[in-house]
């Protein structure tokens, strides 16, 4: 007798053997029991979740001649349907029979009565592959088939089916199976096959299956063929290129230590072993997630990927902030994998980015030992203001600083001396670091959402120029009423720090954020430099303690204020002089 794959051998033969899909199962059982059968069903969901198995069970139940619960799996109809030999149950693969001619042939046969069963059941798999013409040919029959005909359509992509077809079917959406359900089924199969297995094998197979029972049994089948009658976790890893949890924790330790050489060597080893890059990236995310969950709850019962011993080891060197940052970077890499043929490059870049400690400054601040924090250093700044330059003193809303607590005083208007000149507004590195270290993540997340709306302001003449400057930029830090914006290069950053552009952009920011915000532009390279400076100064003990930004003028290097020119000393304009020559004393200056 020919070998039969496990997923076929252990296909459920009764409703009680079905794993998962509890609500779908109960609904169909009730419909059969009460004889409330629809003429057309649509089963949709991911691969391997039981759509075709459920369709065949429906066909068996509808044609079952046994007593009691249906299907009985013992009557002739049930047996012949299980063996795919029943003349009244027709399975069609729409991937290879998707043309209008095949559908017309099917319609021609629909009118004939069933041969040995109560119903003729047409099971059309991968129905989304049918052409539009084929769907249209099927519509009328699908809407009003003969009373003895039932259509069951199955698909993994319901969005590709015509709405007119969807509206004629009773739809059931199959979800991915839970890991616990898959583990129970795999364990039952191993016991039935009398295969010895190492503890952890079942969980590993369930995780690899990603919610699909057919995939789980397929993996188990291949692993048994390779390992024989004693299955270990290493056998499964060898076949599917799976990296163990301990190896992933070792890899994260190397990244955390900044050991670039060994990180690259380990990635090379993964490649030589045939490890799937997307799978290991997902695995690292799962390990990091378990670390965060345990650190937040101290409950080992909810760990899904690693055990308590492993999570304690992981959290001994990795903080929650770093774990969140790593998850973000690996998720970004996963997105990029879909666009390239060689995902290893993106995986290496993500790993190197983390190994070089390219993380937000705010993530470092919490880890600074108190003993290395010193007072802010005084910075001498050259003051250069041309006598002819204009000084603007805008009124802005600021935060008043209480000695014990920072509070926002409502309706507080304080006139601050921000000096705008034809040259650039300049900030020292210490002032930039002070803003970066006080980044308000909650407020910044709100601003990031609003930032996505900048493109819309390109349509408004009053804001178009400013919006053009801010397009494709990133808010690096936001604290109190000041923000740092990163531009692609220094040229763009310098351009937005001049007097005229600054005024335009602040007007747009006021409109966008509904608050008066002082901003400063820097290049992305400068941001990297500032972060490196932060790490260096933190390590050598020269980093200052973040100090309050109590006044807006503290953000800028103050220039010497020019002496105001008295009104009577101002040189009259040429237009005014000419007017007085023409009209004499009738001209008055306003």
**Cα 73 from chain centre:** 45
Tokens of 167: 């509206």
Which regions of the chain are under pLDDT 50?
358-423, 551-570
CA 178 to chain centre: 21
The residues, ordered by sequence, that sit 6+ positions from 114 with a Cβ below 8 Å of its Cβ are 63, 87, 88, 120, 148
pLDDT at position 251 = 94
The whole-number pLDDT of residue 292 equals 93
The 10 Å CB-count burial string (b at 16+, else e) for 207-216 is: bbbbbbbbbb
pLDDT on residue 396: 37
- Its sign, for the CA torsion 574, 578, 579, 584, is positive
Q: What is the DSSP letter of 483?
A: E
- Cα–Cα dist 281/286, whole Å: 9
Say if CB 215 and CB 48 are below 8 A apart. yes
Residue 501: partners with Cβ closer than 8 Å, 6 or more residues away: 466, 469, 495
* The predicted structure's pLDDT at residue 459: 79
Q: What is the pLDDT of residues 197-217, one digit of tens each?
A: 888 889 888 888 878 899 899
The 8-class DSSP code of residue 149 comes to: E
Q: What is the pLDDT of residue 152?
A: 93
Burial class, 348, CB count within 10 angstroms (exposed 0-12 / middle 13-18 / buried 19+): middle
Is-contact 124 153, C-beta < 8 A? yes
Domains of the chain: 6-173 (3.40.50.300), 179-240 (1.10.8.60), 245-359 (1.20.272.10), 395-555 (3.30.300.180)
| Look-up of token digits 């400076």 | 533
Three-state secondary-structure class, residue 118: coil
């Amino acid at each position: 007798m020919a070998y039969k794959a496990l997923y076929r051998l252990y296909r459920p033969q009764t409703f009680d053997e079905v794993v998962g899909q509890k609500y779908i199962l109960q609904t169909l059982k009730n419909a059969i029991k009460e004889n409330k059968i629809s003429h057309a069903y649509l089963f949709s969901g991911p691969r391997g979740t039981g759509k075709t198995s459920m369709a065949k069970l429906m066909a068996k139940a509808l044609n079952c001649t046994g007593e009691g619960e249906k299907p009985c799996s013992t009557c002739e109809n049930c047996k012949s349907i299980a063996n795919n030999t029943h003349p009244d149950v027709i399975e069609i693969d729409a991937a290879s029979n998707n043309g209008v001619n095949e559908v017309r042939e099917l319609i021609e046969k629909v009118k004939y009565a069933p041969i040995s069963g109560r119903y003729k059941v047409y099971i059309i798999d991968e129905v989304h592959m049918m052409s539009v013409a084929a769907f249209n040919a099927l519509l009328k029959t699908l809407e009003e088939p003969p009373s003895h005909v039932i259509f069951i359509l199955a698909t993994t992509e319901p969005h590709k089916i015509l709405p007119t077809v969807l509206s004629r079917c009773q739809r059931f959406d199959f979800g991915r199976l839970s890991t616990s359900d898959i583990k129970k089924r795999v364990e039952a199969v191993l016991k039935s096959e009398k295969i010895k297995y190492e503890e952890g094998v079942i969980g590993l197979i369930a995780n690899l299956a990603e919610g699909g029972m057919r995939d789980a049994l397929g993996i188990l089948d291949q692993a048994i063929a390779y390992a024989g009658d004693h299955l270990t976790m290493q056998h499964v890893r060898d076949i599917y290129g799976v990296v163990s949890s301990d190896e992933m924790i070792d890899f994260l330790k190397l990244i955390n230590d900044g050991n670039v050489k060994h990180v690259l060597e380990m990635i090379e080893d993964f490649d030589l072993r045939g490890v799937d890059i997307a799978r290991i990236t997902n695995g690292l995310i799962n390990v990091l997630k378990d670390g965060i969950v345990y650190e937040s709850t101290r409950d080992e019962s909810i760990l899904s990927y690693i055990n308590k011993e492993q999570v304690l080891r992981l959290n001994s060197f990795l903080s929650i902030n770093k774990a969140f940052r790593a998850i973000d970077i690996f998720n970004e890499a996963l997105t990029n994998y879909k666009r390239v043929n060689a995902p290893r490059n993106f995986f290496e870049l993500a790993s190197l980015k983390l190994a070089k400690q390219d993380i937000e400054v705010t993530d470092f601040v919490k880890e600074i030992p108190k003993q290395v924090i010193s007072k802010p250093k005084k910075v001498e700044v050259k003051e250069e203001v041309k006598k002819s330059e204009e000084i603007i003193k805008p009124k802005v809303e600021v935060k008043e600083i209480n000695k014990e607590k920072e509070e926002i005083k409502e309706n507080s208007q304080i006139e601050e001396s921000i000096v705008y000149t034809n040259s650039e507004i300049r900030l020292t590195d210490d002032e930039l670091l002070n803003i970066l270290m006080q980044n308000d993540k909650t407020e910044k997340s709100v601003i990031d959402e609003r930032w996505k709306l900048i493109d819309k302001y390109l349509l408004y003449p009053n804001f178009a120029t400013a919006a053009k400057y801010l397009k494709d930029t990133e808010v690096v830090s936001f604290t109190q009423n000041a923000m740092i914006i990163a531009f692609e290069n220094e040229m763009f950053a310098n351009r937005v720090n001049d007097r005229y552009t600054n005024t335009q952009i602040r007007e747009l920011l006021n409109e966008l954020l509904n608050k008066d915000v002082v901003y400063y532009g820097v290049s992305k390279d400068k941001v990297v430099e500032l972060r490196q400076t932060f790490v260096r100064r933190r390590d050598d003990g020269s980093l200052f303690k973040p100090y309050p930004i109590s006044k807006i003028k503290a953000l800028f290097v103050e220039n010497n204020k020019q002496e105001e020119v008295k009104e009577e000393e101002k040189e009259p304009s040429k237009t005014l002089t000419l007017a007085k020559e023409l009209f004499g004393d009738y001209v008055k200056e306003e």
